[in-house]
């Protein structure tokens, strides 16, 4: 079973040299910590940065320099700043290679719900609907089951959806799964110490298990 950092570490292996990557809030943000040295990756923050760097050293933080999570950040050499129309322009025109974000639910067709729980205060979708509608490669980082122990990998999303048929891959504390175009979660890897049976039990949507499922390498 993986912790949050383990999920982030596993997702980092999906990042390729030369990628422009947009990281959502939460576990996705941690992925930046596990991108191998020497791999050239540029982080996009949808409020208007390419080439986002780490948090600033105490005392150097700048109110004019924040990320999409409103956290103070830094700029790396080669970075650029642009307005929000251009930022979503490059997202919409699929120049960003990989989008990693969290989810409350994912359906076996790749629908995602991650912005609204009926009856609770709704804060808004921010840039999530734009990202999921546009990105060609979306990986979801999330827990396999919710706090009530119910699966978040469902035949159909029950919460209001954020986008249709967009999630390509899911990494949870238990497994790595592809979402197949024709529907279904194809099990690719088990987390260390996790059995296929555990994953079957935790997955409410159609799970496809073919042959031996290797344990993931981190």
Give the footprint of another protein on residues 34-73 (CB under 8 A): 40-42, 44-51, 54-67, 69-73
Q: At 141, is the secondary structure helix, strand, or coil?
A: strand
Size of site (CB under 8 A) for another protein: 72
> Measured between alpha carbons, how far is 186 from 172 in angstroms, rounded to an integer?
13
Instruction: Return the closest-CA partner of residue 115 out of 95, 136, 131, 138.
Output: 131
**217 scored as a contact of another protein (CB under 8 A):** no
Q: At 74, is the secondary structure helix, strand, or coil?
A: strand
Q: Which is nearer to another protein, 115 or 185 (CB)?
A: 115
* Segment interacting with another protein, rule: CB under 8 A, options 102-110, 122-130, 184-192, 199-207: 122-130
Please, what is the minimum distance in Å from the beta carbon of residue 170 to another protein? 19
- 197 flagged as catalytic: no
* Segment interacting with another protein, rule: CB under 8 A, options 123-131, 136-144, 173-181, 193-201: 123-131
Q: Are 88 and 95 in contact (CB under 8 A)?
A: no
Please, what is the minimum distance in Å from the beta carbon of residue 157 to another protein? 10
Give the alpha-carbon dihedral of 145, 146, 151, 153, to 10 degrees.
-80
Collect all residues with Cβ–Cβ distance below 8 Å to 6 and sequence separation of at least 6: 173, 191, 218
Q: Which of 14, 46, 58, 108 is catalytic?
A: 46
Q: Which is nearer to another protein, 2 or 161 (CB)?
A: 161
**205 scored as a contact of another protein (CB under 8 A):** no
Residue from the set 2, 30, 106, 128 that interacts with another protein by CB under 8 A: 128
Phi then psi for residue 50, to 5 deg, are -115, 135
**16 scored as a contact of another protein (CB under 8 A):** no
Q: At 77, is the secondary structure helix, strand, or coil?
A: strand
**160 scored as a contact of another protein (CB under 8 A):** yes
Known catalytic residues?
46
């Amino acid at each position: 079973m993986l912790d949050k950092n383990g999920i982030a570490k596993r997702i980092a292996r999906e990042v390729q040299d030369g990628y422009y990557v947009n990281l959502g809030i939460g576990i996705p943000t941690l992925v930046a910590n596990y991108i191998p040295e020497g791999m050239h990756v540029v982080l996009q923050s949808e409020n208007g940065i390419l080439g986002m760097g780490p948090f600033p050293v105490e005392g150097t933080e700048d109110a004019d320099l924040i990320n999409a999570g409103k956290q103070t950040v830094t700029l790396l050499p080669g970075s650029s700043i642009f307005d929000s129309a251009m930022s979503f322009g490059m997202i919409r025109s699929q120049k960003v290679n990989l989008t990693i974000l969290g989810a409350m639910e994912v359906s076996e067709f790749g629908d995602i719900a991650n912005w609204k729980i009926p009856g609770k205060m709704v804060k808004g979708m921010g840039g999530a609907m734009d990202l999921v509608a546009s990105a060609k490669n979306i990986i979801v980082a999330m827990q396999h089951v919710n706090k009530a122990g119910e699966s978040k990998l469902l035949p159909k999303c029950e919460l209001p959806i954020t986008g249709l048929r967009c999630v390509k891959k899911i990494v949870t504390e238990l497994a790595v799964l592809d979402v197949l175009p024709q529907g279904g979660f194809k099990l690719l890897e088990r987390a260390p110490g996790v059995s296929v049976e555990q994953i079957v039990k935790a997955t409410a949507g159609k799970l496809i298990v073919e042959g031996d499922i290797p344990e993931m390498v981190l």
